[in-house]
Structure 1
């Protein structure tokens, strides 16, 4: 175990003026607090925070970060408190240590929700100070290095969590060295057999190609000497997890991989990067499509480098990364490599200003935090954060030249939401490089994307399966929920207005506010939506607003439904309803009272769907309230309505309210008896098409030697349109009979 003076010396090697007193104080305090605690390996527990601190000294972190590493488990695992840490080390360090402390006593049903809430807390703490992330990653790295002593079930869970969250999080913050080690350690436990196989094959390839690698290094070094470029050439080997993932995703065998080896060229300046590139490309042929310039267009994690593949010495493909030495430092250590702790004024305890908010890595983190503010449930948050973490990028531009970085596979919808949530919500189309393209088009590097917008647009729920970014998916989900809530709220308002009118009262939304506690709803819109969904009876709202109200209409006990006339029925809330028999339903459907709910179709502002047999403008109709699913519209003559005769509270007066300018067809079901001969179906389909109708679904119900009975679900404009179509089908030589099906 590292001694106290050894830790201080490690820090002083790269920071001679380090606050030695702070390091000594944190070392002694953490050692005392962890006392006789032991790890699963049997080692003193204090060895863990000490090793975490050692990992951070390799990144050349300041003494405040090293002190936090020593203290990071004290609040969670010992008797230490935040107040005590604040008093001894200052509130700045206390805040960082608390940010690394897991939430305790979480009253959550699922492990996934608990994991999400702890991740949420961690990201919020990282947003305040990136040093929380650096300590957390070092903590996870040491835990992964020493996981052999953990139970097997726990090892798998921790490895999966590391692969899903912490390794990609390190990558998004530019810490490639940490990411690669976390991935390989996780791979070892998640799929040990594959890990052993890939590792053994890599060792064979290294041994077999050792001479070739040395030859390429020497050849490149001589080339740069010829052009007077001060360059260092280093070979690099693809990591086992990277090899395995590429084999899986691209369905390649080990022998088909051409990029197991690569070479890094490190130079002094940006100018030297392009000079080295020119020397390489004038000496060997470049492989088309394998050139990327991340210096002029850095990745979101601040990674900068030139990538190219050439057909090099011995006619072998050679992958090259050309970067300055400072770029290489950032590529390996990411945010930890930025000299962001040197410019801030040091406080007495050795703390300093947090990471600059201008880096690309921090811009991503801020976007993630914005999603937290939207109030996603824990599972959605975890899913969206994972989507944001796993991103291989493409770079696109707005018409004004603004650069938008997106994951591979992103669509114009993702682009629109990346620009702004309002742009995504109002997106109706897109132009890619000046051409109108489908919204599901996969964007490519360098595409210029112009979003076509309409304020009348609401994002369709189906978009959620098209987009690939967490931000877009979360925004679409919220917009869909809001649109559905608005529909149910509008339906609830109409139901309440009618119920109050029948009771001789006037419904006013503002008078709902005082009775919200009695209805157990948080706001007025929640009440309206609950009524619209059928979760709250209109009678309950009436009773809550007018406790003294009594129904003065004639009451009677429930009666058996009759075919003719009206009968009385009392619902569960004690309110009397009159429900028509079949002929009286027809009479009621002919009334065009002001209280009837207007039906404009499934694209209107109410949650409406049609019965399986359909209904079209011109039909007399009735609505049945389906709890949680809005209103189902039935033709008044539908036999299916008898199923609701004893549920009067679900009946809703409805009427057609069709605009002449509307372009929406309506569903109707017909039965066709067709002659069983070649070409009959084609002739029927031709009649339907000629009449501007649409076949939605067709099924063969029964086939006899001479005739075939078909059920056809059509989409037509109105009743006149349907009747005209039925008439022409009857005249067809392929049809022996046709009728409309009403249930």
Structure 2
């Protein structure tokens, strides 16, 4: 069991005596605060914060992080307050402890939304001081090491949470040692039988592979000595969860995964890395397309190394990683390697890799903060973050040669939002390697991407079907929600004014006290919220108008609500109302048709033709329907379905499409079905401006010799 004296001895390697005394003082403070408390295992509770501090000491973390680790549970589990810690140990330590304390509820069984809320708290705490998450990771790692004391169902839940959130965060911060241990411990707790079988197979394979590994290692060492290079060669063990994940993802057997022999070569300089690469490529043939240079282009978490796959003797595949000592330390410890330089980023002692890693981590956290501010709710936020936590990177270039890191499968829209939110919001097309390409096309390594923008452009809801980055997804949703709110408020205002007109009033005439009472009853804050509810169809404009009507207005005698609904002046439709106005798919109304609006909950106003059979049962319900008319100034195109009976022959589809296009109709869809010999039915969806335009299109199609009959669906 670790002791404070043993920890103090370890800290003497890199902290000065005054800092060690502060760490010791925080330990005794925590010991006193937790006096009488026990862990599930029966040990005194203070053994847990001491163990967490030991984990951070292995990462050579600064003294304030160690003090916070000692104190991380006192606010939650004892009578000690934030102010008490601040007065004893300073504001910085108190803030870290407070940040970690806010995350404690992640330990308890919660519903998905509650867990997502707590994850939001984690991001906010990380944004204040990134050491909060490092202390939390140390806390979680020790809890995973001692998970056996918990009931099986809690072990599985905590293990799942570790695999879903904490291990990916450790990976994103470049802390591979912590990530690997968290994954293996969680794998063992969540899938005990699978873990047991794979562990047994690894032990068995290790004995069979020992001679092969020794031979390859010796051969590489001899070649490096011959070339005058001083690289340290070690065999690299695959950890259990990595083997399991590869077996599932790549659908490979255990033996296929273990047939790959992995080695790491650690050198003194970057120059030696590339020279070592040349030496091993002369020794063994490289596998085409399997070389990756993460030194020139580091991973998003700051990881740097050269990766290459080689063909060895007897059909053996050899994976080799080549890196410097400094890169090796950053690969193992990630952002923790830079933690003691946190307050002085220009410190000349700070290694370039560690500093770059720290800056990337800060940039990632700031990106999370931006997503948090844009997200509509906690579930949407955590959905975006989980996408961000599992990236296989693609590296592309801006036209000026700047490297952009994006997840695998990212598109030009993801790239645009990575450059800047305004660029994403206004992008209309893109050039990939100087050629026009679809915005949905997945990007590949090494491509140069140029985004074409226009001020009048705006995000398309269809983009959500192919974007992969959390930033793009949250920015698009944020824009569309704001746009929908604006359009809903505008439509709600028009609908309410329409029904208030029955009482000879407008929105300007309503009684502010009546409005206040209605808002309180509806649990809404402002008139805009009420109008948005009306525009979305969640609240009936007719009912609201009746509640807000002026007292002095009396209804004409003999006038009932349905009569008022029929006699009201139709509302004008401009066609530019946006997302809160839908055209019914059943009848596809176009300008010139008589129309009626059905107010649908959550969708707003759905427009049907007046004689549409699907609207018949609602037509006379003034709470559900509103009579409409087309505006005189329409500049939109509308879809319409046509059914055509034709004499089938080669090229008939092209003939119909060309004819429709010749009179200004775009063909959106066309399909043909054979029946009764040479006759065939063709269904076309075309766009027209109004009924007159549609009549011209149908007249032109009728003139074709092949067309026997044509009608509108």
Residue in structure 2 matched with residue 349 of structure 1 by the alignment: none
Residues 530, 505 of structure 1: alpha-carbon distance in 2 compared, 3 angstrom cutoff: same
Deviations along 1:500-539, one digit per CA (max 9) or x if unpaired, are 4454445459998994664353344323322222333445
Residue in structure 2 matched with residue 126 of structure 1 by the alignment: 126
| Structure 1 residues 17-32: aligned runs within 5 Å | 17-32=17-32
Deviation at residue 325 of structure 1 after TM alignment: 0.7
| Structure 1 residues 288-299: aligned runs within 5 Å | 288-299=288-299
**8 Å CA contact retained: 2:702, 2:710:** yes
Deviations along 1:627-659, one digit per CA (max 9) or x if unpaired, are 332223233344555412441244434233476
Deviation at residue 362 of structure 1 after TM alignment: 1.6
Deviation at residue 285 of structure 1 after TM alignment: 2.7
Match of 1:579 among 566, 570, 576: 566
Residues 699, 528 of structure 1: alpha-carbon distance in 2 compared, 3 angstrom cutoff: farther
**Aligned pair 1:598/2:598, yes or no?**
no
**8 Å CA contact retained: 2:642, 2:710:** no
Give the distance between the partners of 1:578 and 1:340, measured in 2 at CA.
73
**8 Å CA contact retained: 2:173, 2:334:** yes
Q: TM-score, normalised by structure 1?
A: 0.84
Moved more, 128-137 or 97-106: 97-106
**8 Å CA contact retained: 1:173, 1:335:** yes
Residues 684, 300 of structure 1: alpha-carbon distance in 2 compared, 3 angstrom cutoff: closer
| Structure 1 residues 120-519: aligned runs within 5 Å | 120-257=120-257, 260-312=260-312, 316-338=316-338, 340-341=340-341, 359-508=359-508, 515=515, 518-519=518-519
Residue in structure 2 matched with residue 644 of structure 1 by the alignment: 618
Residue in structure 2 matched with residue 629 of structure 1 by the alignment: 603
Deviations along 1:677-723, one digit per CA (max 9) or x if unpaired, are x95999799657744575858899xx9x9999989574452434545
For 1:370, what is the secondary structure of its paired residue?
Answer: helix
| Structure 1 residues 718-729: aligned runs within 5 Å | 718-720=690-692, 722-723=694-695
Moved more, 504-513 or 605-614: 504-513
**8 Å CA contact retained: 1:597, 1:652:** no
For 2:236, what is the secondary structure of its paired residue?
Answer: strand
Which residues of structure 1 form unaligned runs of 5+? 346-353, 557-568, 581-587
Residue in structure 1 matched with residue 350 of structure 2 by the alignment: none
**8 Å CA contact retained: 1:625, 1:651:** yes
Residue in structure 1 matched with residue 349 of structure 2 by the alignment: none
Which residues of structure 2 form unaligned runs of 5+? 346-353
Give the distance between the partners of 2:278 and 2:687, measured in 1 at CA.
66
Give the distance between the partners of 2:25 and 2:355, measured in 1 at CA.
25
Deviation at residue 415 of structure 1 after TM alignment: 0.9
Deviation at residue 369 of structure 1 after TM alignment: 1.3
Residue in structure 2 matched with residue 528 of structure 1 by the alignment: 531
Deviation at residue 359 of structure 1 after TM alignment: 1.5
**8 Å CA contact retained: 1:614, 1:669:** no
Deviations along 1:534-581, one digit per CA (max 9) or x if unpaired, are 33344565567664342342334xxxxxxxxxxxx327xxxx61527x
Residues 72, 510 of structure 1: alpha-carbon distance in 2 compared, 3 angstrom cutoff: farther
Give the distance between the partners of 1:624 and 1:681, measured in 2 at CA.
44
Which is richer in helix? 2
Give the distance between the partners of 2:451 and 2:509, measured in 1 at CA.
38
Deviation at residue 223 of structure 1 after TM alignment: 2.0
| Structure 1 residues 540-619: aligned runs within 5 Å | 542=545, 547-556=550-559, 569-570=560-561, 577-579=564-566, 596-600=571-575, 604=578, 607-610=581-584, 612-619=586-593
The Cα RMSD (Å) is: 3.7
Deviation at residue 160 of structure 1 after TM alignment: 0.7
For 2:379, what is the secondary structure of its paired residue?
Answer: helix
Deviation at residue 180 of structure 1 after TM alignment: 0.8
Deviation at residue 661 of structure 1 after TM alignment: 6.0
Moved more, 27-36 or 50-59: 27-36
**8 Å CA contact retained: 1:129, 1:355:** no
**8 Å CA contact retained: 1:621, 1:635:** yes
Deviation at residue 465 of structure 1 after TM alignment: 2.4
For 1:209, what is the secondary structure of its paired residue?
Answer: helix
Alignment length, in residue pairs? 696
Deviations along 1:258-297, one digit per CA (max 9) or x if unpaired, are 7743111111122222222233334433222122222222
For 2:323, what is the secondary structure of its paired residue?
Answer: strand
**8 Å CA contact retained: 1:235, 1:263:** yes
Moved more, 525-534 or 3-12: 525-534
Residues 401, 495 of structure 1: alpha-carbon distance in 2 compared, 3 angstrom cutoff: same
Deviations along 1:145-200, one digit per CA (max 9) or x if unpaired, are 11122111111110110001100100111100110111111111222232223222
Give the distance between the partners of 1:342 and 1:487, measured in 2 at CA.
46
Q: TM-score, normalised by structure 2?
A: 0.87
